[in-house]
Amino acid sequence: MEINLISDTVTKPTPDMLSFMMNAKVGDDVFGQDPTVNELQDKTARLFGKEAALFFPSGTMANQSAIKLHTNPGEQLICDKWAHVFNYEGGGASFNSGVSCALIDGTRGMFKAEQVEKLIHDPNNIHIPVTSLVTLENTTNKGGGGVWDINEIKNIKKVCSQYHLPFHLDGARLFNALTVTGETPKQYGELFDTISICLSKGLGAPVGSLLLGSHKHINKALRIRKLFGGNMRQIGYLAAAGIYALDNNVERLKEDHRKAKVLGEVLNSSPLIKKVEQIETNIVIFYVNDNVDENEFVNKLVEKNILLISMGEGKLRMVTHLDFTDEMLDKTISEIKNLKLLV
Ligand SMILES: *Cc1c(COP(=O)(O)O)cnc(C)c1O
């Protein structure tokens, strides 16, 4: 039995999801004729109270399209120093949109409205880049699955409105956040101009992301998706997986969060571990003791068929998900307790 805690993207479609996919009605989506894609887009737009939604092959392309539709080359966006759009999209903001990033020194990937306001440039000063977009991430990936306080987001929204700046949410794991707070997708739809969500993270679909926004923004995104080479044909089979995921796999995210907390407690009581970061959702970030070799720690678990990743400098990560069963949790707990390293 392999236990893969590398990411919540490692899940495989269940037989039920696969049969739902196989029964999808499809058409050529480049001509707007795939009924299942249209259904998924309409369903998600309604869920968030947005006018329109567009299906994308990846969260990266959805975010990059959002950046492109809100900005012009030479301008600047504001994000946290740990933001996915800055750190993990291959430098796409500069390559695809020709924009730079003004980085906020946040806490676990989250920040305050005052910090945003300080970075907004005077548009009349020709020496400095024009600020044209503010983005944030919920939950925060590098921040260990951190969940935002919606009141702080409302404060940031006020700053954006005051300076006429568009506001984008990288909501790759937004459903994890909503599961914790009990807030609704519509509350987020009201706050942001555009929102990206991933169906292939905690929700268990094999592929797919959506970008949500106004008709005007999504029409622009359609052109940009074409430009990026992201147009696809009979992808109703994949959109069906997304519909299935939204209907069946949102409620159960709390299970992943429960398991992550249990893992955190076990790690906390291990003499090999220095610190476990606060666990709010399905991401567990922890640090081995100074006298413990993190690679040895990872390799010992890999020998027991338990996979996790090292993020460098003694920092390790485990992510719980749909395919991580109670039986796997028990095995992981006992292997962590039994770990013997040369220290
Ligand atoms: C995973 C992720 C994305 C998108 O990643 P893809 O692998 O391109 O789907 C975007 N933002 C965050 C915060 C993520 O965790």
pLDDT tens digits along 194-243: 999 999 999 999 999 999 999 999 999 999 999 999 999 999 999 999 99
Whole-number percent of the chain with pLDDT over 70: 99
pLDDT tens digits along 33-86: 999 999 999 999 999 999 999 999 999 999 999 999 999 999 999 999 999 999
CB atoms within 10 A of CB 273: 20
Structure tokens, 97 = 């949109």
Q: Which domains does the chain have, with CATH numbers?
A: 3-8+252-337 (3.90.1150.10), 11-248 (3.40.640.10)
pLDDT attached to residue 342: 62
Please tell me if the CB atom of residue 8 comes closer than 6 angstroms to any atom of ligand 1. Answer: no
Average pLDDT, the chain: 97
pLDDT tens digits along 301-316: 999 999 999 988 889 9
pLDDT attached to residue 343: 59
Cα of 91 vs centre of ligand 1, distance in Å, is 14
Cα of 126 vs centre of ligand 1, distance in Å, is 34
- Ligand 1 atom 14 nearest Cα: 172
Please tell me if the CB atom of residue 172 comes closer than 6 angstroms to any atom of ligand 1. Answer: yes
Please tell me if the CB atom of residue 209 comes closer than 6 angstroms to any atom of ligand 1. Answer: yes
pLDDT attached to residue 137: 98
pLDDT attached to residue 19: 98
Q: Is the pLDDT of residue 163 over 80?
A: yes
Q: Is the pLDDT of residue 284 over 90?
A: yes
Please tell me if the CB atom of residue 64 comes closer than 6 angstroms to any atom of ligand 1. Answer: no
- Return d(Cα 233, Cα 313) in angstroms, integer: 44
pLDDT attached to residue 340: 80
Stretch 112-130: mean pLDDT: 97
Looking from the CA of residue 60, the nearest atom of ligand 1 is 8
Lowest mean pLDDT among 143-157, 237-251, 287-301, 319-333: 287-301
Stretch 7-30: mean pLDDT: 98
Please tell me if the CB atom of residue 60 comes closer than 6 angstroms to any atom of ligand 1. Answer: yes
